[in-house]
Every structure is written in structure tokens, then in C-alpha cells.
Amino acid sequence: MRGLFLTLEGGEGSGKSTQLKRLVRRIESVGVPVRALREPGGTEIGEAVRNILLDPQSGGMDARAELLLYEAARAQLVAEVIEPALAAGEVVICDRFFDSTTAYQGYARGLNLSEVTQLNLTATAGLVPDRTLVFDIDSMVGVERAVGTGDADRLEAEDAAFHERVRSGFLAIAAAEPRRVRVVDASGTADEVEQRVWAMVADLVGPLDGRGSV
Ligand code: TMP
């Protein structure tokens, strides 16, 4: 039986990576195999592309070049990892997927939204997540959390207006596709957010319980 594809989305510092680890542990505890991935990355080619994308030295990157690099990393991840894992019946959870491209390159950079959507589907060969959770938090609180005391990467270093457009982009995506995309209030403790996350995937994950595999 085909597996389940979940994606976690949100702006910088929304806590989705922490929640991904918790969700993986929780699903694995019922004996179901889970594959955790991140975008851009998750393959050797994708990790190399990630380094180019996040390198603060890539300052002069054209918005279309940026778009195509994200899509290239995604195409490789879908073909090399996600489709085979789903075909093997695994639960695949990806930290970011094509909604990040719509929010960052579409809403925040201002590239044409229908072109971005078209390229998203080209990169994934039509694959769409079964459920997407958008972790919503005040955009500058998130950026400060993400950067911490270290150096900002190329995207984190964008200005406050950019990060606000990312946030409202994600909320617009959720409003447009309420069946697939759910918004998680990412404020509060990690335990509180974990409970909210579980409530939003339980209808999909619950039926897997006790079967040992999907
Ligand atoms: P992260 O893995 O630390 O969240 O870093 C990925 C960065 O890349 C983050 O700033 C969001 C950005 N991004 C895009 O701009 N477009 C995309 O399609 C994806 C997947 C990520």
C-alpha cells in the first residue's frame, strides 16, 4: 500500500524542525517506518544546491535562478527518495516542500504565482502532499529565534518586510487549500505545539496504528 506524505512549512524559526523530530518519534513508536527529509537537501545533489542557495556569498543571485535551484533540488529529492519511499509504504515527512517556494519566491520575492505553481508541479512530477502543516509565528520573533547569536544565512538576512510577506504568503496558501493545508499556532511550549500538531494529523496517522507498517 502506498505511504503517506506530510510536509511541514513556515517562516524562519517557527519550530517546525523541532516538531518534525517529535512527530517522527511519535509515529515510529507505533511501529510505522518514517522517512524524515529536509528541503533543499536530502540527496547529495540537493545538499550541494542547498549550500549555494544559503551561502551569504551568493548575494547577487537572480530571483529566477534562485527559483530554479530550489526546483532542481526538489526534483532530485522526489525522484531519488520520496517516490520510492512512498511506493514502499513509508510515511515521508519533509521539512519544507513546494509551499516554501510559493511563499518565498512567489509571495515574498514577487515572482509570478502561476509560473511558480507550474514549476512546482513540474519539479514534483505532480506529487502533492497528503497534508501540510504551516507553523505560524510572528515573523520577526521567528527570525530572531532562528539566527540566535550566530550569523544569518542568505534568506534569514532578508528584511522584516520580506519575512512578513513570507508569513502572509503561507496564510494565503492555507486559505486557498483548506483541505490539504492546516495552520498550527507555533507559539507556546514545544509540548503544547506537539499536541496541536498531533491533533492535525491524527486522522491520517491514527489508522496506521497497530499495523506495524503502512
Ligand atoms: P531551512 O532549512 O533552515 O528552513 O532553510 C531553508 C531556507 O530556504 C529558508 O530560508 C527558506 C528557504 N526556501 C526558499 O526560499 N524556497 C524554497 O522552496 C525552500 C524549500 C526553502
**What's the pLDDT tens digit per position in 145-186?**
999 878 899 999 999 999 999 999 999 999 999 999 999 999
DSSP secondary structure code for residue 179 in this structure: T
**Those residues with Cβ within 8 angstroms of residue 72's Cβ, 6 or more apart along the chain or in another chain:** 45, 49, 123
CA of 39 to the centre of ligand 1 (A): 7
Q: Map out the domains of the chain with their CATH numbers.
A: 4-209 (3.40.50.300)
Residue nearest to atom 19 of ligand 1 (CA): 100
> Ligand 1 pocket: which residues have CB below 6 Å?
12, 38-40, 70, 96, 100-101, 104-105, 155
By alpha-carbon position, which residue is closest to atom 7 of ligand 1? 155
Compute the distance from residue 208 Cα to the ligand 1 centre, in Å. Answer: 30
**Among the atoms of ligand 1, which is closest to the Cα of residue 153?**
10
Q: Sorting pLDDT into bands at 50, 70 and 90, what band is 211?
A: low
The CA distance from 176 to 203, in Å, is: 21
Report the pLDDT value the prediction gives residue 212, as an integer from 0 to 100: 52
Q: Which of 67, 100, 134, 154 best tests ligand 1's pocket when mutated (most atoms within 8 Å of CB)?
A: 100
Shortest-distance atom of ligand 1 to CA 53? 8
Q: Which residue has the cell 509540548?
A: 191
* Spacing, Cα 12 to ligand 1 middle (Å): 8
Mean per-residue pLDDT of the chain? 95
Task: Inform me whether the pLDDT recorded for 213 exceeds 50.
Answer: no
- Mind listing the pLDDT tens digit for each residue in 99-149? 999 999 999 999 999 999 999 999 999 999 999 999 999 999 999 999 987
Query: What pLDDT is recorded for position 210?
Result: 59
15, 39 contact by CB (below 8 A) = no
1 or 102: which carries more pLDDT confidence? 102
Name the helix (H) or strand (E) containing 165: helix 160-176
Query: To 10 degrees, what angle do helices 44-54 and 63-77 make?
Result: 160
Stated pTM of the model: 0.95
